[in-house]
Amino acid sequence: DAGITQSPRHKVTETGTPVTLRCHQTENHRYMYWYRQDPGHGLRLIHYSYGVKDTDKGEVSDGYSVSRSKTEDFLLTLESATSSQTSVYFCAISGPRTGENTDTQYFGPGTRLTVL
Amino acid sequence: KQEVTQIPAALSVPEGENLVLNCSFTDSAIYNLQWFRQDPGKGLTSLLLIQSSQREQTSGRLNASLDKSSGRSTLYIAASQPGDSATYLCAVRPGRDDKIIFGKGTRLHILP
């Protein structure tokens, strides 16, 4: 357990509504990532952060935005949810962190999002 | 562009057998390679990480090897158990500050 949590764990919403998913870590890791996982596509990177207020796009960033105002929290926002964004969303973290240099990537438990 | 492939997509073996899962990547210049396990409905659990300078890593019944020149890694599971049933994913980090690239995984079923 790398001290990473996601909330909510499950969410059902309607097309066109905004949705925010939260990733929280307690281990002070520098890097944080948002992935989505879909059958046939595997894991795809949406956005990632390499420090507070430093973020960059992944391979499937359209329709998503992120924010990281403090080390421990990384928020993923769907401004106007669409049915194609129905997926399981995973947050991940990796080093370095204070006093340690680790390359291992740790994953959160996931958020299952359904957009009707 | 780095691509990671895992074949087969699914595998069933009787309990007690030793087995090997394969991972191949197209560009031999990698920073590290990581093996994960994912149980149904769960997140990914890191199993082993091999740095580019290493040839293998071991943890309990698991042994992962890395051959950069051939673009291959294998995950060896000794004396398989039903609890080993899961999807196993391989992921490559091309450079120290690069994003990691995942294979699509091998779904392993250990038959009791």
pLDDT for A96 equals 61
What's phi and psi for B84, nearest 5 deg?
-80, -10
Q: Does A45 touch chain B (CB under 8 A)?
A: yes
Q: What is the mean pLDDT of residues A79-93?
A: 96
The strand order across the sheet containing A4-7 reads A4-7, A19-25, A73-78, A64-70
Rounded Cα distance between A88 and A102, Å, is 26
User: Which of B1, B46, B90 to mutate to probe the A interface, most A CBs <10 Å?
Assistant: B46
pLDDT for A102 equals 64
The answer to whether residues A93 and A27 touch, using CB atoms and an 8 Å cutoff, is yes
- DSSP character string of B36-49: EEE-TTS-EEEEEE
Rounded Cα distance between B105 and B10, Å, is 8
DSSP A59: T
Q: Among all residues of chain A, which has the CA nearest to that of B105? A: A42
Residues in chain B, how many? 112
Residue written as tokens 């293998």?
Answer: B56
Q: What is the mean pLDDT of residues B40-49?
A: 92
B44–A42 C-beta distance less than 8 A: no
Q: Does B46 touch chain A (CB under 8 A)?
A: yes
The runs of H, that is alpha helices, within B1-111 are none
pLDDT for B68 equals 94
| pLDDT per residue as tens digits for the range A58-77 | 989 999 999 999 999 999 99
| pLDDT per residue as tens digits for the range B56-97 | 999 999 999 999 999 999 999 999 999 999 999 999 999 877
